[in-house]
Amino acid sequence: SIPLHEELEAEVATVAEREAAIVFGSGYAANVGTIGALVGPGDTVFVDKYAHASIVDGCRLSGATVVRFRHNDTDHLARRMEAAAPGGVRLVIVDSVYSMDGDIAPLPRLREVCDAHEALLMTDEAHALGVIGRTGLGVEEHFDRRVRVDVKLGTLSKAIPSMGGWVAGSAELIGHLRYAARPFLFSAALAPASAGAALEALRVLRAEPERVTRIQGYGTRFRELVSAGGMRTGDSETAVVPLIAGSDESAYDLATTARRLGVIGLPVVTPAVPRDLARLRIAVTARHTDADVELAAEAFLKAAGECGLLAG
């Protein structure tokens, strides 16, 4: 690594509001490496049913006992923890914002359950950083910093338009990961160009919070327009808005029709989402305009109408 990597890690720690941070080559590597460094045989990890594949893979590779709980269902999590074998480290892992649904993890209640069962809480901020919270700092800021997580992780390839993954926490945690997270220890450092791009993007995020205000407003407006027109958007409350089509074939048809009408929405089908919940995943950005949002909503609604997917 070079001094640029140290600058990036310091900036990540500042944005994450933590003592220290470490940067991996990808978000996938960050999850796999961090989970494997925190838990192993004899430990138990509790994972939301809709958690990202990198979290699931990291849990399986760690050798720890893996227990899944229903999506955003903290009561079910509590019951699973009560039924689990005692002993070892207990780790709960959730996405802050779920990539396919755009809904937010119930952080305050998760913290309560973890504290009651002496478990660590880890959040993946991949789709939260730059998107939720008053200034885009993620799920803790979204909940007015009423609670904190033990391990905060994210990517540099979503709202931050570069490459890489990161973990932020105490100096003790980050020091441990530098020597115990194998994807960090045995991989080349992030390319300097990617590190530099990520560093500048993080600085822009802190310097221009109005970008976050715009993206939150556009997400709400797009969701309101398509919902009012008869499209299902699930429980989305962020800039990630699913347009639920139903079958895989219906999602492909909707994407093809929408493209013909001048808008692009990429289909997400099984096994990435549950059967009969295939959808187009739409993400608004701060670079869009009010006119863009209205045009896109109109085009997607027209496409859905042609495909027979509008409610009522």
Please report, to the nearest 10 degrees, the dihedral formed by the alpha carbons of residues 183, 184, 186, 190 taken in order: 110
Q: Phi and psi of 256, rounded to 5°?
A: -65, -45
- Of residues 49, 28, 26, 30, the one with CA closest to residue 38: 30
The yes-or-no answer on residue 1 being catalytic is no
Catalytic hit among 5, 52, 152, 158: 158
Longest alpha-carbon distance in the chain: 59
Catalytic hit among 26, 54, 62, 99: 99
Backbone conformation region of residue 64, classed left if phi is above 0, alpha if psi is from -120 to 50, else beta: beta
Catalytic hit among 5, 71, 127, 142: 127
The yes-or-no answer on residue 142 being catalytic is no
The yes-or-no answer on residue 158 being catalytic is yes
How does strand 20-24 pair with strand 165-169?
antiparallel
Catalytic annotation, residues: 99, 127, 158
